[in-house]
Amino acid sequence: MIEEQMKVERLFSPITIKSMELRNRIVMPPMGIIMANADGEVTDELIDYYTARAAGGAALVTVELTDVHADAHIVMGNRGHPAIYDDRFIRGLRRLTDSIHSAGARASIQLYHPGRAMFATDPSKPPLGPSAIPCPMWRQMPRALTVAEIGELVQAFAEGARRARDAGFDAVDIHGAHGYLIAQFMSAHSNHRIDLYGGDLWGRLRFPIEVLSAIRKKVGPDFPIIFRFSADERISGGRTVEESVTIAPILVSSGADCLSISTGTQVTGLTYTIPPMGLNQGLNIEAASAVKRAVNAAVIVAGKLNNPLMAESVIATGKADLVAIGRGLIADPEWPAKVRTGRWDDIRWCIACNQACTNSALTGAPFTCLVNPEAGNERNMKIKTASQSKRVIIAGGGPAGMESARVATLRGHKVTLYEKNEHLGGQFFLASLIPWKQEISPYLKYMARQLNELGVEVMLGQALTGSIVSDAKPDAVVVATGGRPLLPNIPGIDTRNVVTALDILAGHATTGKRVLVAGGGLVGCEIAEFLHEYGKIVTIVEMLPRLASDEAMGPRTLLLDRLNHSKVAYFTSARVIEITGNGVIVERDGNRDSIGGVDTIVLALGVTSLNELADDVKAIVPEVHVIGDANNPGKALDAIHAGALLGRQL
């Protein structure tokens, strides 16, 4: 019965858009990964990344936002966006399309200009936009484009489309979403012009209409044009679904063959453009459905649709014609193939953390994925059979221990994993107990299944000891025992009403009605919200100027919104210097204040490494490795990647 309900026939039915035939309804949408060279040329790493998603079964693979104008080319360090503003880029892009095609998928490319949504390092060349209104995210004053400059940009988009066609792409995707240049013209929130390109809805549409018309003239009548836009900008004064339903037929009549629906803008802190944990799956389906009813054209919908049953339902009910699965394909390039063949339990699930994919584009860190360390480094991270099989014992079944066990076993080693608790996952399991972080659970289920299927001997409820190692005589021991809560030398820290955040989540401690959380990083903020959900009156004290400064932008924005809505009190730039019987003394701006009337103090001040086992076994085993928090406290991202690297080195 369950197997019957798991059929996803509509999702894997073909569809044709103009001259482009697609083998199924799964689209990899454009996502900024910044893996081209600084000059905009494609790299081998970029080709490997997109080809892996094509080989995994997606029908249409869309290359990330690609610069149509040299003045708007985005560079971070020695990497940048792909560029298409000159014919010299065609040769490299042809290498990319050939590789995607050889893997069985069609290729499209997103044509893009950031407009005001960029940071200009040269004061003489400020960002450009429809109006001199700063982007709330980048906070630089743009210069309003002249009518002549608008005409030049129209031609830049058209020439970019011509180059895309010549490079072998099967379609172009015009970026009219998320608060970039075309979206800025389309929105009353950012377009305050009173000439032909603003003033009313028709004026705001003139620029995208001209772009679509110019592209159609360049590429001919049969070449597919996809237009991506935010059906609901989700900001005050921005476009609503009702307005999008009005403009959708105009976009189609102007040359768009397919409308790709997202929501949100950069103004919303990436919360809706790249929806993190805490937002519902399929959050854009109804907006796409409204647009679909208004046009006689194909519609793509994006937004946390990596649940196969939901993706199938979207197609079966006619709410959209195709589903865009982005981060789900970063986490598991073989998602389509696994869904099609019924291997759902083998899907490595995206947890919508946005830490390594989205945040990398903002911080300049290398693009990758928390749950998939191979993402962005497919060639170098291939798992190869070890030259000699080893007997490996791993202490700790958290993220680092599980990943190292998985990879080491795939390489041919015989692995036994010891975990002192009755479940795998470590602190990542405790994090999954928070109601709005339940998307961690499918990943933990996947990892547990992989270890079982691979034949890893998992010893739950049993801590690894030196005597066990001595008796087993393994070739290598991996210490992935994690960390323990940091207990700094604060007077009163051993008071009976002091507990740790981990104790609360593990069910080892309870709190009174009035709670003070010492530490306002991610863990402290989440435990504060968790306790508020249970009716506690909570105050946070954080020594840094900002709460949750260690969290990625989108999830952080949502977290702070929830905290403000719940009226959790907080003090920033305040350091706890003493714990009293019913409160704390804090130091803030050189002054000391007391906070009293507190029943329980919850410590969320970080963790310290728990690695004593390493010293115990170094005299027994010639090869001992310490990874994850046991080596250096960090995030799950750091732990999983450390496990992945070690597994390849064993």
Residues marked as catalytic = 180
- The span from the first CA to the last CA of the chain, in angstroms, equals 43
- Give, for 500, the enclosing helix (H) or strand (E): strand 498-500
User: How far is Cα 509 from Cα 496, in angstroms, rounded to an integer?
Assistant: 11
Q: Report how far apart, in Å, the C-alpha atoms of 272 and of each of 266, 278, 283 are.
A: 9, 11, 9
b/e sequence 56-76, b meaning 16+ C-beta within 10 Å: bbbbbbbbbbbbbbeebbbbe
Say if residues 278 and 559 touch (Cβ distance below 8 Å).
yes
What tokens appear for 451 in the block? 């270890």
d(CA 450, CA 120): 46
C-beta neighbour count of 363 within 10 angstroms = 11
Distance of CA 235 to the CA centre of its chain: 22
Helix axes 636-649, 399-410, angle to 10 degrees: 30
Element (DSSP H or E) covering residue 221:
none
Q: Which of 518, 517, 541, 545 is nearest to 529 (CA)?
A: 517
Positive or negative torsion for Cα 586, 589, 591, 595: negative
CA distances from 177 to 154, 167, 183, 289, 293 (A): 17, 24, 5, 17, 20
Cβ–Cβ < 8 Å for 97, 169: yes
**Token duo for residue 389:** 């099989």
CA distances to 92, 314, 386, 465, 635 from 626, rounded to whole Å, are 42, 46, 20, 15, 16
Residue of 237, 219, 290, 236 whose CA lies nearest to 261 = 290
How many angstroms separate the Cα of 445 from the Cα of each of 166, 241, 501, 645? 45, 37, 24, 22
- Percent of residues in the chain assigned helix, strand, coil, to nearest 5: 35, 20, 45
Q: How far apart are CA 650 and CA 646, in angstroms?
A: 6
CB atoms under 10 Å from CB of 632, counted, come to 14
Residues in the chain: 650
Q: Are 28 and 329 in contact (CB under 8 A)?
A: yes
Cα three-residue angle 520-353-633, rounded to 5 degrees: 55
CB burial string 232-256: b at 16+ within 10 A, e below = bbbbeebbebebbbebbbbbbebbb
Dump the DSSP string for 521-550: SHHHHHHHHHHHHTT-EEEEE-SSSSTTTT
Separation between Cα atoms, residue 238 and residue 232, nearest integer Å: 8
